[in-house]
Structure 1
């Protein structure tokens, strides 16, 4: 069965769609799927047409640009059809009729595939040269790095120093400091004993910060550090914030080192 497909954009005249349908019927199409769409990326009728086709059928279009947006997509569609035993007829490709059921047309499409691959390689080579040139001039920054704030918080809670976190995650130390929890955050997180509860709380807190607060409005915990007192690498360089079971999560007790002298 020969199945035709016709497409025009919403900006085109209806006569264009009618002309395609007329040419497809004249060339032997027994069934035609036609659509007028504003975006080539949204082609419901084409999807329906491709699902309808079966082994031994032939898909017919008037020109390649009615079926695909570029050579690579055209070849991908043809390969999919070929793998399912379906032929493809282009009524006009540079003035020539293409029918993938004969070897000559297959050869032409193979040449097109080679040209498309060559064009892509040239484009990638130019892109690499442009990046190298920009790097040499100090203008290439690359893709913006994503920062996992929860991961930073977990590492910090485990006692990892900000500098070590920065090295582990390949981040600038300033970026790590900007994403550290506050002392209040630390108290709330530590009041939730299990790691699962802590993770859930961290996600909730970060969602609130993202919607209500700018990073500049928060006071990082590094501004409330206690003296090192000989602490080695790997220990948390902040005040040890603890809570009891009766205290609210956001109300931390002072540590012994913060308490005043004992009463006489």
Structure 2
């Protein structure tokens, strides 16, 4: 039974080495790793690749369940996809596998815990931001693009959608910059 390891961290300041070492020690022949949020499956290309190539009898191995996902629904959907392929999931900490009925139940409970932990993280982050705002310390993240540049491009006749695409920002950012400058925002979809 081939074992395929999956490692994930949320930010580049975190280290994948511990997870990779544990996956190697567990006998994983292939290890795919990525740096991306586990809040959803969006943008998780390495996980998508693993799921695409898993076959019947294969085992997907993760260090901890929260490395696979922080949403109970996502985790359970992944387990369902693995079952449909005839593959299974093994979590190393705590040691549990979906190869049996008891393992599926434990995975469900662990998925709910990971989901709750994500909610707690978001609540703490929100509380920290509110406290910083109250002290006048929090100013939000720095703007990536100068509003004056956006207004200049718009006044030169460049379509709002093109400005957003070229600058790598949302169209809402364009509309806010134009509104802040008192420029005509219009409602056309350019």
* TM-score under structure 1 length normalisation: 0.39
Residues 4 and 59, structure 2, Cα contact 8 Å, conserved in 1: yes
User: How far did 1:103 drift?
Assistant: 3.0
- What's the counterpart of residue 101 of structure 2? 103
Question: Is the aligned partner of 1:41 residue 2:34?
Answer: yes
User: How far did 1:83 drift?
Assistant: 2.7
* C-alpha separation in 2, matches of 1:117 and 1:91: 16
- Relative to structure 1, the CA distance from residue 45 to residue 58 in structure 2 (aligned partners, 3 Å threshold; closer, same or farther) is farther
Q: RMSD of aligned C-alpha atoms?
A: 4.7
User: How far did 1:104 drift?
Assistant: 2.0
Post-superposition CA distance 1:136-169 (Å, at most 9, x none): 11111002233354542266679xxxxxxx9953
Residues 33 and 49, structure 1, Cα contact 8 Å, conserved in 2: no
Identify unmatched segments of 5+ residues in structure 1.
22-31, 159-165, 174-264
User: How far did 1:124 drift?
Assistant: 1.0
- Relative to structure 1, the CA distance from residue 137 to residue 69 in structure 2 (aligned partners, 3 Å threshold; closer, same or farther) is same
Residues 65 and 110, structure 2, Cα contact 8 Å, conserved in 1: no
- Relative to structure 1, the CA distance from residue 157 to residue 108 in structure 2 (aligned partners, 3 Å threshold; closer, same or farther) is closer
User: How far did 1:110 drift?
Assistant: 1.1
Residues 78 and 88, structure 1, Cα contact 8 Å, conserved in 2: no
Identify unmatched segments of 5+ residues in structure 2.
8-15, 36-44, 158-175, 183-190
Q: Which has the larger radius of gyration?
A: 1
Equivalences, count:
144
- What's the counterpart of residue 128 of structure 2? 130
* C-alpha separation in 2, matches of 1:140 and 1:170: 21
Larger relative contact order, structure 1 or 2 (CA cutoff 8 Å, min sep 6): 2
Question: Is the aligned partner of 1:72 residue 2:69?
Answer: yes
- What's the counterpart of residue 26 of structure 2? 20
